[in-house]
Structure 1
Amino acid sequence: MEFSEKALVLRVGRFREIDAWVRLFSPARGVYTAFAFGGCRSRRRFCGCLDVFNHVHFKVKSGRIYNTLLEGRLVNGHGRLRADPGRLGMAVNCLKFFEAMEVSPPGAKAAHDMLLESLAALSDEPAPHRLFPVFFRARMACDQGFFPSLSACRACGAAWADLSGAVFHVEEGRLLCPACHVPGRGTFLHLGRETVALLEAVRGTGPAMWSALDPSPAAAGEFSRLLDRFVAYHLGLSWEHGTFVKN
């Protein structure tokens, strides 16, 4: 059976002299691997297509054992990423988090859209915010249903906008106002109003808008610590030696 679809290239590797395996991500099929026989030399069938971060319209032959790429047409190469080490590093960080997260099929379209929007923002002006990869992790966790809303205290319902600060219970994934917080077992993070507002802004806007966010150093630090603790506990992922590893 043959089909054609647009897919994002996640990884490319060689086997034998002229053949390649390609890891792809599409909104309909999620992550899958296909072989490009002769792909390392073919200038006609895969011209400029087989590079990480490329968005390509592929024609694919699906077999019982493996998929074969028949041809590809480049849709967007996000070329600016490769010319700017800072932007490229952020893109790699985002991609590694996505791969480690192992998105389920129902969440594939949302994750695919977020990846493409993020690559477009990283390739465009203005320059991306230094916290872009952290914003990406937060948005992915929100979109995939892991991160709870911080719009109100989970105990009394008080809106965060009416509070001077709040406490987040990492293990329970709950935001509590100071009046409802009772010290006990678990990890509690004290968050200022600006930090909560920052998370809600990331949740409610696209990557193209994140460069306009301007958190104070204190809020940026709280936000980063919140994401690190939440991701480590609820997704089982931590950043070690240049990659995300399972705890």
Structure 2
Amino acid sequence: MDRYTDEALVLSTVDYGEADRLVTLLTREHGKLTAFAAGARKSKRRFAGALEPYMRLRVQLVETRGATVRLDSADIVAGYYTARADLPLIARALYAVELCRELTRDHEPHPELFALLESYLHKLDAKEAGPTSLLAFELSALAHAGLMPRFDSCSLCGGPPGERPRFDQAHGGAVCEPCAGRARDAVAISAELLSGLRAIQDGERTPLSPEFRARARSLLNLFISHHLGRRLKSVDFMAQVGLD
């Protein structure tokens, strides 16, 4: 059995049996892994509070015969403790890690996505990530996963989206008015919103109004839910907290 060390971000945990825990990790070099942590719920020395969502760790892993690896040790590199003491920051962090968990497959390296998530969590912890930054994070995460929605042209004909565009999650983005009849599930979207999302996609970080963010979030929720086949649980948590 091969033993190796890697950097990891905790995406989620599930209690297993009376004392063990299954931990889903996004590692820098090996991608998403499900790790079995024996005795994690009873041993205060081996894991010492490290196996919590969005902890950044240095882990020692051992390959096993199945898809699950064994977690032998975990040292905390960054706990993002400021982001654990503020409910809006908790909600955004949990959404970010759930999105990354659902966008990735096991054992497929995603170093760019790891770096993106690590950077976003650091900004949350430093209180440097405004509400608009979540939209930027989502669009970048979707791009790394090969699911970038198209805002600059019609997803069907490739032409300009026009002044009365629609958005069709099944076809991957904006749809111009002439093509709207071929996109049955397309929803109305203002040219202003389409332009704003394209600007965020291109790297612009100008703060957006709460109304604009709410409309953008609704659109991305629709797109992400369609491609994942379900609505992320953390979306509802953000709504309960009062985040757009």
The TM-score range, normalised by the shorter chain, is 0.7 to 0.9
Query: Does 2:186 correspond to 1:188?
Result: yes
Alignment of 1:61-140 (within 5 A): 61-65=62-66, 67-103=69-105, 108-126=110-128, 128-129=130-131, 133=134, 135-140=136-141
2:242 — aligned with what?
Answer: none
2:11 — aligned with what?
Answer: 10
Superposed structure 1 runs of 4+ greater than 6 Å apart: none
Letter in 2 for 1:238: R
Letter in 1 for 2:32: V
Query: Does 2:170 correspond to 1:171?
Result: yes
Deviations 1:15-73 (A, max 9, x none): 56654432222133222222334444243x43442222111111222233553333332
Letter in 1 for 2:200: V
1:230 — aligned with what?
Answer: 223
1:33 — aligned with what?
Answer: 34
Contact kept, 8 Å, 2:12 with 2:23, in 1: the verdict is: yes
Instruction: Evaluate the alpha carbon distance shift between residue 176 and residue 84 of structure 1 in structure 2; reply closer, same or farther with a 3 A threshold.
Output: same
Alignment of 1:191-210 (within 5 A): 191-205=189-203
TM-score (norm 1): 0.75
TM-score (norm 2): 0.75
In structure 1, C-alpha distance between the alignment counterparts of 2:7 and 2:106, rounded to whole Å: 19
In structure 2, C-alpha distance between the alignment counterparts of 1:20 and 1:174, rounded to whole Å: 39
Letter in 2 for 1:213: P
In structure 2, C-alpha distance between the alignment counterparts of 1:147 and 1:29, rounded to whole Å: 23
In structure 2, C-alpha distance between the alignment counterparts of 1:239 and 1:63, rounded to whole Å: 30
2:61 — aligned with what?
Answer: 60
In structure 1, C-alpha distance between the alignment counterparts of 2:3 and 2:24, rounded to whole Å: 18
Instruction: Evaluate the alpha carbon distance shift between residue 216 and residue 67 of structure 1 in structure 2; reply closer, same or farther with a 3 A threshold.
Output: closer
Contact kept, 8 Å, 1:55 with 1:74, in 2: the verdict is: yes
Identity percentage of aligned residues:
21
Which residues of structure 1 form unaligned runs of 5+? none
Deviations 1:110-138 (A, max 9, x none): 33222222212221224531x65555444
Secondary structure at the residue paired with 1:157? coil
Contact kept, 8 Å, 1:12 with 1:21, in 2: the verdict is: yes
Secondary structure at the residue paired with 1:237? coil
The higher radius of gyration belongs to: 1
In structure 2, C-alpha distance between the alignment counterparts of 1:115 and 1:99, rounded to whole Å: 11
Count of aligned pairs between the two proteins: 232
Query: Does 2:207 correspond to 1:213?
Result: yes
